[in-house]
Amino acid sequence: MGSIGEEQLPKVEKMQLTCAREEKILVLVRLRPLNEKELAAGEVADWECINETTVLYRNTLREGSTFPSAYTFDRVFRGDCATRQVYDEGAKEVALSVVSGINSSIFAYGQTSSGKTYTMMGITEYTVADIFDYINRHEERAFVLKFSAIEIYNEAIRDLLSTDNTPLRLLDDMEKGTIVEKVTEETLKDWGHLQELLSLCEAQRRVGETSLNEKSSRSHQILRLTIESSAREFLGKENSTTLSATVNFVDLAGSERASQSMSSGARLKEGCHINRSLLTLGTVIRKLSKGRHGHINYRDSKLTRLLQPALGGNARTAIICTLSPARSHVEQTRNTLLFACCAKEVTTKAQVNVVMSDKALVKHLQKELARLESELRTPVPASSAGDYAALLRKKDLQIQKMEKEIKELTKQRDLAESRIKDLLRMIGHEQNLEKGSGISGHPSQQAGGIWEDECSVSESSSIIDSHFPNGGIRRSNTMDHDKDSGTNIGEPYQLQDNTEENSFSDASSMLSIGKKLVSSNSYASLDDNAVGAAGDGDEYCKEVQCVETEEARRGNLYEHNSTDDYDGTLSLSVSGDGPVAGRGVSMVANGDGEATSHMQNGFTHDTFEQRLNHVQRTIDDLVSNPNDQYPLSSTAEISNSARTNLRKTWSRRENPMNGSPSWFEKLDQSESTPPNGLEKQFGGRPEGFHRKFPALSYDADIGKLSRNGSRSSFESGSTDDIRSQSIQASVDEDIPSINTFVAGLKEMAQKTYGKHLVDAEAQETESMADKLEKSVKDIGLDPMHGVENSHDWPLEFEKQQKAIFELWHTCNVSVVHRTYFFLLFRGDPTDSIYMEVELRRLSFLKETFSQGSQAVRSNRPLTLSSSIKALHSERRMLSKLMRKRLSEEERKKLYQRWGIGVNSKRRRQQLTSRLWSNPKDIDHIRESASVVAKLVRFVEQGQAFKEMFGLSFTPPSSRRKSLAWSHSKSSLM
């Protein structure tokens, strides 16, 4: 039969054993009486057991208050108490636990001659006696007793029962869980033999009484009795189980200090070893008394290694601390009491030790394995099943919720796709309609066409709102579906009689989808001439921007909120870039992705380029067809060669500003131009900036403005000769044409915007707004200030305009340029871009001039003096033009108006030198601009240029539309 320790017990037994009881070590104190020697020496007993649990130090006067005088333990025994009482009332219960399969240990701790051996001899005898008595009373059980006696001396273990006195290799055996069996089963069953063994132990102690008696005081003796018991009926059977426990009787060496008991040499070494075990025992007890935290150094001594289970392990333990009452031993007594105090805090965890036969163990393990396997296979218990059911219900709810979300998202996706398709379809259909009808020209060509001017923006919105209730999708769809077309075609779009104004109005605006759709409806009734005229043109500038979300409806056209049905702003741009069939379509879905980075308040880079191209092409048209009698839309008759020629011309020409555009160079280095999109909530054009030109008598030209205004600015008449003369005059006299001016603006804006877009794509941390603000502040101007709040734009415009007036004057800017700019940019929010560009470059010029520096472009310097010279030259040119462009009567009126003698010398020079001479007088500026405009044939075509060729980089707005040409024209008059 094998013997197993706690670690080796099968799991089922371990589980049973986990019911082990925790208890504190039982600490007993036995105070012996003064012995004869002490009495002879006149020792005084300072210690007294005042009750069954308290020992009191009586000589408090001597000791003072530094130590406690009373110590309480589980049980204290006076000097007159017999060992039997100590056993019966103290150690017996613990010691006899062994018969129940529970390990137990009885320690005797105290200084030399305090009565440890005296006490332990009695405790061992009584325990063994009771064990045999127990065995005798339980005939149904079979018992096997094993007995061993060892001594630990100088950290060496010796078998006290061996006759050869050879040291035992006990530790190795103990570590293997094997108890040294020095007594056979048969001998231990005989009480007499046990007595003989105990006698033997006593005999050993007596042997060499002279030499060994002192040694015994300095060694640790351990008597160990192991009891195995099992039911007799199962003896020898495979399924037998056995209780197995051990009781230790430990007689420790004297706990006094080495200095007190040892002197030197071998004795000192012996004392060190003794105290090593005692020191380790004390350390272990102290640590255990504070809880089972950290490492417990059982292995630091043989004693603690052997008694490890009894010290805080699987055992019931009792420590009997023996005290000498003698005053001379008070220090040792206190040390013993301190040890006792720690020991009483140590907890052990005793449990019943069961030993199974090998076969029983295997059988048990097999049974346990089967049980575990069965648990895995069998369904879960009812209670667990209930939990699973609840979990399943929860999961089902989650699945349902997710399915609902998926459905909703799918719906939104489909809606968005549908929206995109509709927009594409509308565009494609529109293109087809225009292709089919051969119309690329302006609706104004459409004699008898039905439309209304006010519908432009609203129709655009209707397209945008195509997916909203009552939105324009029906109208949009009418272009695709005949079934609906009748409804829309039949709508009473009113034809206005002022077709010229309408033509200008629409020609000068960026046509919206809505407008195009309505116009397309009207195309069906166009007369052949109009169609033919339009059809001849292979160039047509048109731009459609259709942006829609609910956000847009609230005025935020290009900023998207992802909570909309479609997760992104849809920006659809259709450009009439070249022949209708060749129109490019670009679509930008502004979700959370990169597309956003290409948007600048509604402008994509492509859109910007398209607009710039539109401007350039239309200027080309005007230059190449300056004598065209068709309204603006028909100026599309432009050839590629003509465009090329113009570009060549432009490339040779200098900047309209004093002949040197060097400020472009600096603009490249300037900060970015802010995005536009300022039309939001535009409160209308500032009242104070409606042009009120003096009623100059421009005779026939005024009536021709609506038509001729579409032509080049330097084209005045209706004949080729005049045109040629004008062009020649313009070139010769170095008066910049409107197309040159626009080209310059375009280049400026392009550079600024280009930089802007690059910055945006680079996703620099500094926002555009911040950059702009910084750059603007750098030059001391803030053109965008207040613009974002469009309600303040009129005031802001006035502020910026005044600043520009001053800067023009300071920088000696060309008066023709001033005139163009003044007439083109009259306070629309969309003008802010150009206002900003102008402010920037003027500020740069001013700074450059003030520093005495020069701007350079194309190796031509631009300095303050050169700008003055250029301005004088320009005034001379204008003076010459006065005679060409104005009749004598007109000149006379002008002289009178400007306070110049009609017969004074150099009156033309006087007049031109006064033009744009007072930047603070707005009336003076208006009159100056009107005169210059007349001289350069600009007057009304300026607005046409601006609006028709998309100088505004922002989408059309209703406000903007309301300020149509007719309105502006009247103000010009």
Binding residues for ATP: 110-117
The residue among 113 and 446 lying less far from ligand ATP, judged by its C-beta, is: 113
Residue in 10, 90, 254, 677 binding ligand ATP, rule: CB under 6 A: 254
33 lies in the binding site for ligand ATP (CB under 6 A): yes
N- to C-terminal Cα separation, the chain? 128
Our measurement of the distance from residue 299's CA atom to the centroid of its chain's CA atoms, rounded to an integer in Å, reads 54
Angle between helices 209-217 and 191-206 (to 10 degrees): 100
Of 127, 217, 670, 912, the residue at the interface with ligand ATP (CB under 6 A) is 217
> In three state form, how does the secondary structure of 584-612 look?
EEEEEEECCCHHHHHCECCECHHHHHHHH
Nearest to 692 by CA among 351, 943, 937, 972: 972
DSSP letter string, 44-80: -B-EEE-SSSEEEE--HHHHTTSS-SEEE-SEEE-TT
Q: Smallest distance from the beta carbon of 34 to ligand ATP, in angstroms?
A: 10
Query: With respect to ligand ATP, which residue has the nearer C-beta, 212 or 587?
Result: 212
Q: Return the number of the residue (323 or 837) whose C-beta is nearest ligand ATP.
A: 323
In the complex with ligand ATP, the residue whose CB is nearer, 154 or 848, is 154
Contact by Cβ (8 Å): 239, 275 = no
Other residues' Cβ atoms within 10 Å of the Cβ of residue 293: 8
Distance (Å, rounded) from C-alpha 705 to C-alpha 166? 136
327 contacts 39 by C-beta, under 8 angstroms: no
Q: Single out the segment in contact with ligand ATP by CB under 6 A; choices: 28-36, 284-292, 500-508, 676-684.
A: 28-36
Q: Which stretch binds ligand ATP (CB under 6 A): 30-38, 380-388, 761-769, 774-782?
A: 30-38
Of 84 and 920, which has the nearer Cβ to ligand ATP? 84
Q: What is the nearest approach in angstroms of ligand ATP to the Cβ of residue 83?
A: 7
Q: Which of 123, 80, 70 is nearest to 341 (CA)?
A: 70
Four-residue CA torsion sign, 186, 192, 193, 197: positive
665, 761 Cβ separation under 8 angstroms: no
110 vs 568 by CB, closer to ligand ATP = 110
Say how many residues touch ligand ATP, by CB under 6 A: 16
For residues 391, 395, 397, 401, the Cα torsion angle rounded to the nearest 10 degrees is 160
C-alpha to C-alpha distance for 683 and 792, rounded to whole angstroms = 8
Q: In what order do the strands lie in the sheet with 584-590?
A: 543-548, 569-575, 584-590
The annotated binding site is made up of 110-117
Residue 335 Cβ, how far from ligand ATP at the closest point, in Å?
14
Contacting ligand ATP within 379-418 (CB under 6 A):
none
Distance CA 430, CA 446 (A): 17
Cβ closest to ligand ATP, residue 32 vs residue 680 = 32
Q: Which of residues 73-92 bind ligand ATP (CB under 6 A)?
A: 79
Nearer to ligand ATP, 32 or 875 (CB): 32
Nearer to ligand ATP, 44 or 642 (CB): 44
Residue 510's nearest CA partner among 610, 370, 594, 645 is 610
The span of 32-40, 532-540, 686-694, 923-931 binding ligand ATP (CB under 6 A) equals 32-40
Contact map string, positions 304 to 323, toward ligand ATP, x by CB under 6 A:
------------------x-
Least Cβ distance, residue 354 to ligand ATP (angstroms): 36
Classified as helix, coil or strand, 541 is: coil
Binders of ligand ATP among 105-144, rule CB under 6 A? 110, 112-118
Q: Which stretch binds ligand ATP (CB under 6 A): 29-37, 187-195, 363-371, 720-728?
A: 29-37
Integer angstrom CA distances of residue 636 from 101, 538, 565, 620, 888: 115, 7, 41, 9, 36
Closer by beta carbon to ligand ATP, 251 or else 548: 251
Distance between CA 292 and CA 314 in Å, rounded? Answer: 14
Closest CA to 821 of 863, 836, 694: 836
C-beta of residue 110 within 8 angstroms of C-beta of residue 336: yes
Q: Which residues pair with 584 in a beta bridge?
A: 575
Q: How many CB atoms lie within 10 A of CB 164?
A: 5
List 229's β-bridge partners, or say none.
143, 243
CB atoms within 10 A of CB 763: 8
Taking the complex as a whole, the smallest distance from the CB of residue 79 to ligand ATP amounts, in Å, to 6
Question: Among residues 254 and 709, whose Cβ is nearest to ligand ATP?
Answer: 254
Q: Which is nearer to ligand ATP, 35 or 458 (CB)?
A: 35
Give the shortest CB-251-to-ligand ATP separation in angstroms: 7
CB burial of residue 558 (10 Å; 0-12, 13-18, 19+) = buried
CB of 10 to ligand ATP, least distance (A): 43
Q: Which is nearer to ligand ATP, 274 or 935 (CB)?
A: 274
Distance of closest approach, residue 120 Cβ to ligand ATP, in angstroms: 8
One character per residue 445-474, x = contact with ligand ATP (rule: CB under 6 A): ------------------------------
Contact yes or no for 508/946 (Cβ under 8 A): yes
Q: Which is nearer to ligand ATP, 116 or 515 (CB)?
A: 116
- What's the closest the beta carbon of residue 252 comes to ligand ATP, in angstroms? 8
Fill in the amino acid letter for 230: S
Nearest approach, Cβ of residue 8 and ligand ATP (Å): 37
What's the half-sphere exposure (Cβ side, CA atoms, 13 Å) at 435?
13
CB 307, min distance to ligand ATP, A:
18
Lay out the site mask for ligand ATP across 321-340 (x = CB under 6 A, - = otherwise).
-x------------------
Q: What minimum distance in Å lies between the beta carbon of 374 and ligand ATP?
A: 59
Element (H, E) at 690: none
Smallest separation, CB 38 to ligand ATP (Å) = 10
Q: How far is the CB of 68 from ligand ATP (least distance, A)?
A: 24
Least Cα distance to 363 among 517, 493, 241, 529 occurs for 241
List interacting residues with ligand ATP (CB under 6 A). Answer: 32-33, 35, 79, 110, 112-118, 216-217, 254, 322
